[in-house]
Chains A and B, each alone.
Chain A
Amino acid sequence: MRDYLFILLGAALVNNVVLVRFLGLCPFMGVSNKIDSALGMGMATTFVLTLAVAASWLLEHYLLAPLGIEFLRILAFILVIAALVQFTEMFVRKASPTLHQVLGIYLPLITTNCAVFGMALLNVQQKHDFLSSLLYGCGSALGFTLVMVLFAGIRERLALASVPATFAGAPIAFIAAGLLALAFMGFAGLPAH
């Protein structure tokens, strides 16, 4: 139980997917203008990442490993994750149009997000079992959501602040991201699993 908690916390904070591993930086910069959209993106990513990690674990252990074709991992993972996201989008559009309006526009964006794919590959590398993989994926997605919302909040305040003209817009956002990453380095003191 303790181990699982460590995996979850470690993935969310210590090895934060955005600020420590530097994966999924495009949505981190692109969709963090408003807290609402950052939260939507985070929730959609959490959903997709958990599903993708489960699917890729099953694929790795029941198809690629028994057949001895692990070298096709990257290709097969991309195929399955993309198909899964597409399927989910169709299902959500049918089942709940409101949810589709909230999450739907972000789903196709996430299909090729390197964070999703990176987590699937890291799980294989670290030889996690199924439950650990799931927790690892879910934890890192929660960490992603946390960072997105934090950063969106900072940017919303930055938009109102009087920033020197040279730094206005993207430059000050990058500086803020750097400071946030430094702050997250503080979590490295927590026992990493």
Chain B
Amino acid sequence: MIVAMTTLTGLGLLLGLLLSLAARVFQTPGNALCEEITELLPGVNCGQCGYPGCAAASEALVAGGASPALCPPGGAVLARTLAARLGRTLDAAGGPPLLAEIDESLCIGCAHCGKRCATDAIIGAPKQIHAVFQEACTGCGLCVEVCPTECLQLRPQKPTFESWCWPKPALVGV
């Protein structure tokens, strides 16, 4: 009994110690900028940028292969932040952020959209009218694909101080 207990405890302690030592010795230095960019990205891994997840997208951003405006959920705000952090210029200013909205007159309460939402922004039980919790919505558009009645649409939102930008100068006299 005592022998068994001490042996197993000793074995566990020894292996744990060895593993923690190995973790120190074999530590691979990660890219600090990469981690910082990953923190900035929404982290919902929706894959709309064409990379498998936000970590892969941040690697592509740091390597220079991707545009700072690659992230639809992040919108114009994120594009500007990324461009400033990476010291790159942004090609297009981008419009106001698009967020999901539900047309209550068309919603049949099928509850398909809530299951797809990566940020739990859609409220509503089956056979009840759903609503989008705008503060949580990232505008990734995953819910739009599954809506059978097309009552879920991405609609432009009122600009806030963060998201407002100068309108493009219109041509005069045309």
Q: Taking beta carbons and an 8 Å cutoff, which residues of A are in contact with B?
A: 63, 67-69, 71-72, 75-76, 79-80, 83, 86-87, 90-91, 93-94, 97
A67 to B28, CA, bound (A): 39
Q: In the complex, what residues of B have CB within 8 A of residue A72's CB?
A: 4, 7-8
CB distance from A122 to the nearest CB of B (A): 22
Q: In the complex, what residues of A have CB within 8 A of residue B7's CB?
A: 63, 67, 69, 72, 76
Contact between A80 and B26, CB atoms less than 8 A apart: no
Q: Of the candidates B3, B12, B15, B16, which one forms a contact with A67 in the assembled complex, judged by CB atoms under 8 Å apart?
A: B3
A94 to B3, CA, bound (A): 37
Contact between A90 and B11, CB atoms less than 8 A apart: no
Contact between A94 and B15, CB atoms less than 8 A apart: no
CB distance from A189 to the nearest CB of B (A): 43
A140 to B135, CA, bound (A): 55
Main secondary structure of the interface of B (DSSP, over half): helix
Known: A67-B3, A86-B19. A75 touches B8 (CB 8 A): yes
Q: In the complex, what residues of B have CB within 8 A of residue A87's CB?
A: 18-19, 22
Contact between A94 and B4, CB atoms less than 8 A apart: no
Q: Of the candidates B4, B11, B16, B26, which one forms a contact with A93 in the assembled complex, judged by CB atoms under 8 Å apart?
A: B26
In this complex, which of A67, A71, A83, A86 has the most chain B Cβ atoms within 10 angstroms of its Cβ? A83
A67 to B168, CA, bound (A): 81
Q: In the complex, what residues of B have CB within 8 A of residue A67's CB?
A: 3-4, 7
Query: B174 near A: Cβ within 8 Å?
Result: no
20 A-B residue pairs with Cβ-Cβ distance under 8 Å, sorted by A, are A63-B11, A67-B3, A67-B7, A68-B3, A69-B4, A71-B4, A72-B7, A72-B8, A75-B8, A76-B7, A76-B8, A79-B12, A80-B15, A86-B19, A87-B19, A90-B19, A93-B26, A93-B28, A94-B25, A94-B28
